[in-house]
Amino acid sequence: MSNLVVETYSRLADKYDYELNLQSCWGRAADKIQNSLVIEDNDEVVLDVGCGTGRALCQLASRSRPNVQFMGIEPAENMRKCAQRRIAGRQNISIVDGCFEKIPIDSQSVDYLFSIFAFHWVTDLGASVREIRRVLKQDGRADLFFIGRNNGHEFIRKTSPIFLKYMGPARFLESARMRTQLTKEDAVRLFSETFDPRRVSADESYETYYDSLEGHWGWWVRIEGQFVSIPPEARKACDQEVRSALSGLSTQKGIPYSIHCLHLTLR
Amino acid sequence: MNLIPENALVVSVLTWIKEHKLPGNLEAAGITENIDLIANGLLDSMGLIDLLLFVEEQTGRPIDLKVVEPEDICVVKNLCRIALGNNISQSMDGCEHVEPSCGNVLAAGGQV
């Protein structure tokens, strides 16, 4: 079944590692998360679900024992190609097609599963959590980082009326349904349905990043899939209105964007 | 036959919005049936989805999003009228007519 988010990530894969995206609030937040990940001494298999172009996977492999096997799962074909180019020659890293709902790995084979800003794109929450449980070893660990319910509230307030106008109600709401934004409580409840609740915990953080309009525009590649339904002839005018609205948020420090990040932990 | 009167639905929807609105935008006392919920930042798109589900639950009728305009679902008065299958041009005070919006033209593939 086609997935507009995956298709768009694949179409724009070459732009994903542009400096503007890497230096954006999302790039910086992702770097901070990947630097916080810890590989334990007895970990043999580490899995990154939604590995994108493989940045976190390579960084983590670089600071780990060479006998740890790293695997990246990514549904967007051209993102996988970028990741494969990045890992060229590294025997302990592999990239394969897959997604949270269907992880192509043997049951109970993963010591440590992590994911950075991918889980909110799942299309079937229940199936995704069951797959995580299936592939994790009995004592396997997981760290999932994904956006929470109140993510980007500054931008959403400014841009929603514009997107509603250009998309119309049906497409606007369909676009919203492409992502899942759970509260911390919802996330804990969801995972506790499948895992022993004593193993499940969640933290949440709100961090406001300030940037220029162009700086923020640099990460638009990450959400482009939600806007492909805007008729091409209207897209330019829509973008102009969005840029103008975001400019209105400017402060002395720049244009604010608050990332509401949920960190779901399985131990 | 409508199971819930329009006025009762309006009250019920306003109560729901006051309970579920985004933080920091408009005090509850300022929320009326005439304000635009999206333009005023009371709801985001996911809040709007939840509101529509609530309204459909109240009326027992689905809302066809393909035939509505942005202000039909973003303004409580219009939303309740649409949800009950009443004519949008027949407002409760009998004097309002909602013109087609730019958003709907675009949704149908039109020009800006």
Q: What is the pLDDT of residues A211-234, one digit of tens each?
A: 999 999 989 888 888 888 898 889
Report the Cα A192 to chain-centroid distance in Å.
22
Find all residues with CB under 8 Å of A27, minimum gap 6, and list them: A21, A219
Could you report the predicted ipTM of this complex, rounded to two decimals?
Answer: 0.81
Question: Does the pLDDT of residue A96 top 80, yes or no?
Answer: yes
Question: Does the pLDDT of residue A205 top 70, yes or no?
Answer: yes
Q: What's the pLDDT score for residue A225?
A: 85
Q: Chain B residue with minimal CA distance to A170?
A: B65
Residue A1's pLDDT band (boundaries 50, 70, 90)? low
3-state helix, strand, coil in chain B (%, to 5): 50, 0, 50
Out of A158-167, A240-249, B95-104, which region has the weakest mean confidence (pLDDT)? B95-104
Region B62-77: what's the mean pLDDT? 92
Per DSSP, the three-state class of A251 is: strand
CA distance B83 to chain A (A): 14
Range of the domain at A123: 4-266
Per-residue tokens: B107: 């949704």
Question: Does the pLDDT of residue B90 top 60, yes or no?
Answer: no
Say if B55 falls within a structural domain. yes
CATH number reported for the structural domain that contains residue B18 in this entry: 1.10.1200.10
Q: pLDDT tens digits for A48-93?
A: 999 999 999 999 999 999 999 999 999 999 999 999 999 998 999 9
CB atoms within 10 A of CB B26: 17
Q: What's the pLDDT score for residue B1?
A: 54
Question: Does the pLDDT of residue B103 top 80, yes or no?
Answer: no
Residue B2's pLDDT band (boundaries 50, 70, 90)? low
Tally of domains in chain A: 1
Range of the domain at B80: 6-107
Question: CB pairs below 8 Å between A and B: how many?
Answer: 78
Per-residue tokens: A169: 């109600």
CATH number reported for the structural domain that contains residue A240 in this entry: 3.40.50.150
Say if B112 falls within a structural domain. no
Per-residue tokens: A135: 């592939």
Report the Cα A72 to chain-centroid distance in Å.
13
Q: Report the candidate in A126, A147, A133 with the shortest Cα–Cα distance to residue A206.
A: A147
Which one of B25, B73, B102 has the shortest CB-CB distance to A165?
B102
Q: Determine contact: A173 vs chain B, CB below 8 A.
A: yes
Say if B56 falls within a structural domain. yes
Residue B76's pLDDT band (boundaries 50, 70, 90)? very high
Report the Cα A73 to chain-centroid distance in Å.
12
Tally of domains in chain B: 1
Say if B29 falls within a structural domain. yes
Q: Chain B residue with minimal CA distance to A229?
A: B107
Q: What's the pLDDT score for residue B88?
A: 61
DSSP B12-50: HHHHHHHHHPPTTSS-GGG--TTSBTTTTTS--HHHHHH
Question: Does the pLDDT of residue A99 top 90, yes or no?
Answer: yes
Mutate to test the interface with B, among A149, A162, A172 (most CBs of B within 10 A): A172
